[in-house]
Chain A
Amino acid sequence: MRGRYLPVAAFAGLIVAIQMATHFTGSGYHLTQLTMSAYYSLLAIGLCLLVGYAGQISLGHAGFFAIGGYITALLTTHDLSSRAGGASRWLAKAGILSFRIDLYGGELLTVHPWVACLVAVLATVGIAYAVGGPVLKLKGHYLAMATLGFGVIIYRIVLGTEFLGAADGISEVPPFAILPGLEVSGKAALRVPNYYLAWGLVIAGMVLLLNLIHSREGRALSSIHGAEDAAEAMGIPTARYKLSAFALSAAFAGLAGVLLTHYNGGIGPSEASVMKSVRYVAIVAIGGMANLWGTLLMSLLLNYLSLRGYFGTYDDAVFGAILILIMLFAPGGLLRRDLLEEVRDVFRGNGEKAS
C-alpha cells in the first residue's frame, strides 16, 4: 500500500520543485505550457488504462476531448439574455445561468460553467457508453478503425456545424470559477494556482487509476488484455469491464477538454483531429503501454515541448518517428529497466520476446 503512494508523493514533489524552479529563475511563463500539458496528461492516463491495461486501442479519444470542450464552450458562450423570460430569471437565481460582461462591455447571460462542466462530462460519458457498446465488441483492426471512424465523425460534425463555429471553433469562452478566488483561466496573474489545480487533478486521477488497477477490477482488465476468451471463461464479464474502462477514460478526456477549453478561452476543430488521437496513443506507447507513470511523465515532457514549439515544423513528424521507433525497438515503452537488454537482443536478432 505504502509502495503505491510513494511515487505519487515523489511526483507531487516534482511538480512543486518545477514551480519553485520557475519561481526562483523568474521564468514563471513556463507554467502556461505545463498547465496545458497537465490537461492533456489527464486524457493520456485515462487512455493508458484503456489501451495499456484493458488492451483496447482507441484512435478516437480526441473526439471525447472535443465533445467535452465543445459542450462547455457552447453553453458558456451562447447568450440567452435576449430570451430573458421568467424561466431564465429563475434559472439565473438558481445559479444555473449567470450574467457576465464580455470583452467589449456587453452583458451576456450564459449557462454557469459549473453546470456546463457537469453537462459536458456527463454527455461525454453517455456518448462513450452508447458508442462503446457496439464498438468494443470488435477486435484488432476493426476496433482501431471503428474508434478512428468515431473520431472522424466528431471532427466532421464540429467542422461542419454552424453553431459550433465551423472551422473557426468557439472563442471567448469565459473563465471557470471553481471556487471563489480560484478560476480556470489563462490570465497571467492566475498562473500559479492554475498550475497547481491542473496537476492536483492529474495526481487525483493517478491515485484513482492506481487504486483501480490494483483492485479486483483492475486485474480483471489486465486478464482481458492477456487473453479475452480465457477471462470470459473464468467468469469475468469482459464486455462490461471493457465498457466501463472505455467510459472512464472518456470521462477523463471529457473533463480535460472542459478545463483546457476554459483555460485557453476557446476550442477549435483541430482538437478533434485524427492526428491528435494518434498523438495520445503515441504518448501511451512511449510511456510503456501498461505503465501509468511512464505515460504521465512522457505526456508531461512531450506535450510541454510540443506546446512550446521546440519541434518547429517537425511537430507531427516527431510524434510519427516516436511511434515507429518505440514500436520497433521497445514495444514495452522507454521507461523500463530492462530496456537496454532488449535493445541488445534486437540487434542479436531475437528481440521478439518483448511483443
Chain B
Amino acid sequence: MNPDLFFQYVVAGITYGTIYAVVAIGFNIIYNATGIINFAQGEFVMLGGMTAVTLSRFLPLPVAILGAVAVTTVIGAVIDILFIRWLRGPSVLRMIIITIGVSILVREAALHVWGESVRALPYFTGTSVTSIKMGNVYISPQVLWVVGVSAVAVVALSAFFNYTMLGRQMRACAANRDAARLCGISAKNMVTLSFMLSAGIGAIGGAVVCPITYVQYDSGTPLAIKGFTVAILGGIGNSAAAVGAGMILGILESFSIWVLPAAYKEVISISLLLLILFIRPSGIFGSAEEARLKEF
C-alpha cells in the first residue's frame, strides 16, 4: 500500500468516524440524563436531514438547516413527553422496548410523509465533484464541514455542561438524581431537555452529512447501530471519548475493505461491539471501576 492510498483510506475513515461520533454523542446525552439508551437516536439524524431537505425548497440553506434542527428538537421533546416523562421508575427492559417502538413509528411515519425516495441537500461549498487536493489525497469540502460542525458541536456541548447553570443542573441529575432533586432541580425537565439536546445534535449531524450520505426514511437505523458501537467503544456517557472511538471505528472500517470483501464491512463493526462488550464493557477509554458503579 502506497502512502497516498493509505492517507486516502484515513480520510475516508475520518468521514465515517465523524458521522458515527455525532450519533454516539446523541446517545450519551440521553444516557447521562436518564440512564436509558434511546434506540430511536438514528431517527433524529434522519429527521434532521429530511426536514432540512424539505425546508430548503422554500428557504435559504442555513435557515432551512436551523429550521430542521428546531423542528427535530421539538419532536425530541414531544417523544419524551408522550412516551417517557410520565413513567415512574420503568425497568430497563421496558425502556428498551419503548424506544425501539418509537424508532419504528418515526421511521414508518417518515415513509408515509415523505415517501420512499432518496433526498439530498446541495453541497455547502462547491459541488459534488469539488475536492481539495493535498498531495495525491483528495478531500471533499463537505467532509471538512462535517468535521468542523461536529467539532463546534462537541465544544459547545462541553461548554454548556461545564459553564452554564442549566448544563450543571443536568450533570447533577446524571450524577445523583435524588440529591439533585433535593436541591430543587426538576429531574423530569432535565430529561426532556436532554431529549431536546440530543435530537438537536442528531439533526445538525443529519443535515450536515446529508449531502454526502443522502437521506431516506430508513437511513436512521443503520446509523443508530454504528452509533451504539461507538458509544460503547468509547465508554458510554463519555462524549469526548466517543469522538475518539468514532475515528477508530471509521478508520478500521475503511481499512477493512482492503483485506475483506466490502460486503462484510458491517460485520467488522458489530464484531468489535461484541468483543468490547465481552471483554471491556466500560469501553476502551472508560474506567472499569466507574462502570461497575453504574446501575446495570
Contact = CB atoms under 8 A, between A and B. Distances in A.
Contacts of A160: 261, 263-264, 267
Interface stretch (A22-30, A133-141, A177-185): A133-141
Nearest to B279: A134
Contacts of A355: 87, 89-91, 94
Given A141-B296, A148-B225, A324 B93 contact: no
A62 B253 CA distance: 26
Contacts of B281: 138, 142
Contact of A156 (B228, B267, B278): B267
A339 interface: no
Interface residues of A, number: 47
Contacts of A149: 225, 229, 270, 273-274, 277
Contacts of B277: 134-135, 138, 142, 145-146, 149
A274 B87 contact: no
B178 interface: no
B218 to A, nearest CB: 10
B105 A134 contact: no
A153 B100 contact: no
A97 B255 CA distance: 43
Contacts of A161: 263
Given A281-B97, A324-B98, A316 B274 contact: no
A138 B232 CA distance: 13
Contacts of A18: none
Nearest to A155: B266
Interface string B63-91: 00000000000000000000100011111
A53 interface: no
A139 B103 CA distance: 22
A156 B266 contact: yes
A203 interface: no
B97 A316 contact: no
Task: Find the residue from A134, A148, A328 having the highest chain B CB count within 10 A.
Answer: A328
A331 interface: yes
A176 interface: no
Nearest to B236: A141
B108 A314 contact: yes
B228 to A, nearest CB: 6
A156 B90 CA distance: 33
A229 B225 CA distance: 30
Given A323-B101, A331-B94, A145 B273 contact: yes
A107 interface: no
Nearest to B102: A324
A296 B88 CA distance: 30
Contact of B98 (A55, A137, A150, A323): A323
A144 B102 contact: no
A157 interface: yes
A52 B270 CA distance: 26
B194 interface: no
B239 interface: no
Given A142-B281, A323-B104, A328 B274 contact: no
A142 B261 CA distance: 29
A282 B36 CA distance: 19
Contact of A140 (B92, B225, B270): B92
B141 to A, nearest CB: 32
B221 interface: yes
Contacts of B89: 352, 355
B190 interface: no
A319 B296 contact: no
Nearest to A320: B104
B271 interface: yes
A254 B92 CA distance: 28
B92 A141 contact: yes
A134 B270 contact: no
B97 A323 contact: yes
B100 A323 contact: yes
B96 interface: yes
B87 A352 contact: yes
B296 A142 contact: yes
A57 B271 contact: no
A137 B279 CA distance: 11
Contacts of B87: 328, 352, 355
Nearest to A314: B108
B96 A141 contact: yes
B117 to A, nearest CB: 15
Contacts of B88: 351-352
A137 B109 CA distance: 37
Interface in A116-150: 134-135, 137-142, 144-146, 148-150
A161 B100 CA distance: 28
A312 to B, nearest CB: 11
B37 interface: yes
A320 B108 contact: yes
B196 to A, nearest CB: 20
17 contacts: A146-B277, A146-B278, A152-B270, A160-B264, A285-B97, A314-B108, A317-B104, A320-B108, A323-B101, A323-B104, A324-B105, A327-B97, A331-B90, A352-B87, A352-B88, A352-B89, A355-B90
The 9 closest A-B pairs by CB, nearest first: A320-B104, A160-B263, A323-B101, A140-B296, A317-B108, A324-B101, A352-B88, A140-B92, A134-B278
Given A153-B271, A324-B101, 15 more contacts: A140-B93, A141-B92, A141-B96, A146-B277, A149-B277, A150-B274, A161-B263, A278-B104, A282-B97, A282-B101, A313-B111, A316-B107, A321-B101, A323-B104, A352-B90
